[in-house]
Structure 1
Amino acid sequence: MKFINLVFLLGLLWTPEPVTCQRPYNQFQLVQAWIPTFCKKYSRCFPNLTPNFTLHGLWPATRTGNSVLNCGKGNDSNIRPETMASAAPLASAWPSIIIGRNDSDLWQYEWDKHGTCCLSRMTKMNYFLSVIRERNKMDLLSILGNANIVPRSDVSYTKLDLENALTQFTGVGNSIYVSCYALNNTHVQLFEI
């Protein structure tokens, strides 16, 4: 399958550093979206964004790759102290690109949906520090560029091209997931990895 542009979704399913979530959740998915495709799909993005990957989230998951969702806000849902303490690095690693949703709203949404599922074994601060650390380790544009996979409208790449480049970097081939968005009946773009 060919891609008309470099636009893709890669769900990396690996445990970046040993982190144990509530059973049976034993790994994280670091999911990054290709901004041009994300904005085509949802069309609520800020104008003139630089073509790059944006962090969709760091999600606890089972060995089979199923994300763990909505474990409950409970009494510990306010993330303001943790995000204020690391606001600048978080804004750099995990900015909101959607009009009407500021960074704090995005972080709160992702915390409520995914982060709370690790709360019994990981503090809120550790969750957000992990987000920053893992996003900085996984600069997909650079990783793919080092494999001569660069965003160009006149070059197509296969899913296997992307998977091979990322497997070489991570050493974890069977845990890489690439998702595409259909532009029409014959062309797709990378959505998330």
Structure 2
Amino acid sequence: MAFSCAARAFALITLSSVIKTASCLSFATNNSVSCPSDLPLSCQNTTAIQDLCCFNSPGGQLLQTQFWDTDPATGPDDSWTIHGLWPDHCDGTFDATCDPARAYTNISDILTAGGASDTLSYMQQYWKDYQGNDEQFWEHEWGKHGTCINTLDPSCYIDYKATEEVVDFFTTTVQLFKTLPSYEWLSAAGITPSTTTTYTSNDIQNALKARHGKEVTIGCKNGAFNEIWYHFNVQGSVIGGQFIAADPDGTKSTCPDSGIQYLPKSGSNSGGSSSVTTSSPEVAARQVV
């Protein structure tokens, strides 16, 4: 029995707003496998799962990570931007660069050829490298993290065509990001960018937990709020599966308890930007958060 998105939405109608939103993301392609509906959530199984095309393991803790870069300002002034989709182990450790043979370097061309021009256009606005090297950033995120998502392995496709899993990775990441409007959620709680107002860690956590359903990981640089990690477990494959908010595991939030700056993207000259380089776009961010 395959997952039914409509059935999942109905079954989860009483859950929190973000779970209702994020739990029914379906990105199945004609070539993706059909998964049973009775599989446990990743990281929640009590016995070994044999079909690893329908169960994310060992990377069962999926993180949708976001940046708030202010110096230089990156992306729209009223939106966080995409960092990536990371398949961490259930204890917070992670694998990296799992298949160098599939570390493709032509992401824009792959998305265009795969019929995902809309995804590419969105990425050009919301998945930005603060130094302007978007393509290299995307290549890094796919090569380091995307190749480690086992349910995107080529063997999990029917009549596999080279690079179609790349299209699924970026499409899934973009669609998941769209369900996590951090700027909007923070603003609704009275947390808005400012050069004078500061916030507490509890202010930020409470605002995001109220929407996401679980605590998140928040990161700061020089006392300025600049990264959010949303944690999920998944029922089924990353393609067409069900993303359910999960408690953070592993690295913890490192912002101070109080005095946190949330700087505007315009008119800011200090703090706020991630320490990201094109050769290793998230090494410093991993250290910070």
1:108 paired with 2:114, answer no
Matched ranges for 1:12-27 at <5 A: 23-27=57-61
Asked if structure 1 preserves the Cα contact closer than 8 Å seen for 2:68 and 2:227, the reply is yes
Partner of 1:42: none
Matched ranges for 1:8-157 at <5 A: 23-36=57-70, 39=71, 45=72, 50=77, 52-75=79-102, 77-78=104-105, 79-84=107-112, 85-86=116-117, 87-99=120-132, 101=133, 103-118=134-149, 119-120=152-153, 123-157=165-199
Structure 1 residue runs without a partner (length 5+): 1-14, 40-44, 183-187
Structure 2 residue runs without a partner (length 5+): 1-21, 26-40, 43-53, 158-164, 229-289
Q: Measured at CA, do residues 108 and 156 of structure 1 come closer, stay the same or move farther in structure 2, by a change above 3 Å? A: same
TM-score normalised by length of structure 1 = 0.72
Asked if structure 2 preserves the Cα contact closer than 8 Å seen for 1:82 and 1:128, the reply is no
CA distance in 2 between partners of 1:71 and 1:83 (Å): 21
CA distance in 1 between partners of 2:191 and 2:67 (Å): 16
* Identity, % of aligned positions: 25
Give the match's secondary structure for 1:32. Answer: strand
1:190 paired with 2:232, answer no
TM-score normalised by length of structure 2 = 0.50
The ranges of structure 1 where at least 4 consecutive aligned residues each deviate by more than 3 angstroms after the TM superposition are 15-22, 45-52, 78-82
CA distance in 2 between partners of 1:91 and 1:47 (Å): 11
- Shift of residue 52, structure 1, vs aligned partner: 4.2
Asked if structure 1 preserves the Cα contact closer than 8 Å seen for 2:74 and 2:130, the reply is no
Asked if structure 2 preserves the Cα contact closer than 8 Å seen for 1:21 and 1:60, the reply is no
Q: Which has the higher helix share?
A: 1
1:177 paired with 2:211, answer no
The number of residue pairs the alignment matches comes to 163
What amino acid does structure 1 have at the position aligned with 2:95? V
Structure 1 vs Structure 2 CA RMSD:
2.8
What amino acid does structure 1 have at the position aligned with 2:193? P
CA distance in 1 between partners of 2:193 and 2:65 (Å): 19
Partner of 2:32: none
Deviations 1:34-57 (A, max 9, x none): 111xx3xxxxx4789736422111
CA distance in 1 between partners of 2:56 and 2:208 (Å): 28
Higher RCO (CA-CA < 8 Å; seq separation 6+): 1
- Shift of residue 164, structure 1, vs aligned partner: 0.8
CA distance in 2 between partners of 1:26 and 1:68 (Å): 11
Deviations 1:128-158 (A, max 9, x none): 1111101111121111001111111221111
Q: Which has the higher strand share?
A: 1
